[in-house]
């Protein structure tokens, strides 16, 4: 994966880099309701909570791409989390004007590659070509790893600007052909092959469901060390409070 950044690779560092490109007054209320702040706060917690129990539970409880989700969950302890990883190119070439996407996160395990797109709680919509472009970027960058596209805070049908509510297959399929034509990479699967693979690659979970997964994992978690137990509970509460505050 190619990451274009000079900032710290930490989640906080990447969030600050993102903020530096925006108007500072957008964050005067602590970034309440902004999807990059919400995503950063949730991923910080999931990065430090016991992976198999918490992140793994979220992946196992999501919808779609059941085999792929199970594989990511099984390798959760080895997972590397890249928040706001920068520009991901569409296609295998390297030329001026090559299209790119900027996903919210990329999750890498020894055998999987997951592109994460998150939406705000109050009202979130996709740009017309967004899902098609992210799908092509995923397939361009996954290499030999199993590709997964995880939508956080999303429950199909999804809202697409200018098209209303669409099922994921339609939200991708309406725009996939033109995107592939502009990319012009013969190494990519064909349009029909990509459409056929949507059910095995795309998965999603709402913020409400994610919050319930955290609560469930916390209820089942136990440790013999009181201090460790208290630490896990504080981090889980941090994630819960972030979701509640941004709602």
Q: Which of 151, 72, 81 is nearest to 116 (CA)?
A: 151
Place of tokens 């339609």: 170
What are the tens digits of pLDDT across the range 38-97? 999 999 999 999 999 999 999 999 999 999 999 999 999 999 999 999 999 999 877 777
For residue 4, pLDDT over 60 is answered with: no
Banded model confidence at residue 1, pLDDT cuts 50, 70, 90:
very low
- pLDDT above 70: percentage of residues in the chain: 97
Looking at residue 165, its pLDDT comes to 96
What are the tens digits of pLDDT across the range 219-233? 999 887 899 999 999
Banded model confidence at residue 2, pLDDT cuts 50, 70, 90:
very low
Q: Look up residue 51 and give its two tokens.
A: 């992976």
Looking at residue 240, its pLDDT comes to 94
Looking at residue 14, its pLDDT comes to 85
8 A C-beta contact, residue 99 and residue 89 = yes
Q: Mention every residue, 6+ apart, whose C-beta is less than 8 A from residue 213.
A: 54, 57, 58, 61, 205
For residue 201, pLDDT over 50 is answered with: yes
Helices within the chain (DSSP H only): 11-20, 35-48, 55-61, 66-74, 130-141, 168-183, 191-201, 207-220, 226-246
Domain ranges in the chain are: 11-246
């Amino acid at each position: 994966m190619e990451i274009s950044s000079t900032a710290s690779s930490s989640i906080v560092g990447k969030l600050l880099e993102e903020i530096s490109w925006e108007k500072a007054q957008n964050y005067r209320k602590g970034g309440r309701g902004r999807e990059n702040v919400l995503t950063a706060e949730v991923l910080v917690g999931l990065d430090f909570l016991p992976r198999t129990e918490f992140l793994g539970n979220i992946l196992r409880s999501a919808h779609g791409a059941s085999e792929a989700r199970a594989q990511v969950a099984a390798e959760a302890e080895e997972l590397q989390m890249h928040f706001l990883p920068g520009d991901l190119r569409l296609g295998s070439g390297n030329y001026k004007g090559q299209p790119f996407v900027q996903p919210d996160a990329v999750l890498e395990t020894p055998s999987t590659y997951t592109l994460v797109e998150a939406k705000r709680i109050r009202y979130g919509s996709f740009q017309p070509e967004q899902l098609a472009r992210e799908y092509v970027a995923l397939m361009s960058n996954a290499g030999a790893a199993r590709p997964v596209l995880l939508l956080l805070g999303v429950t199909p049908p999804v809202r697409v600007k200018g098209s209303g509510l669409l099922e994921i297959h339609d939200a991708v399929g309406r725009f996939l052909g033109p995107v592939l034509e502009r990319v012009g990479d013969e190494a990519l699967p064909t349009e029909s092959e990509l459409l056929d693979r949507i059910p095995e690659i795309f998965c999603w979970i709402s913020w409400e469901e994610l919050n319930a997964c955290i609560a469930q994992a916390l209820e089942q978690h136990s440790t013999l060390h009181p201090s460790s137990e208290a630490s896990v509970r504080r981090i889980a509460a941090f994630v819960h409070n972030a979701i509640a505050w941004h709602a």
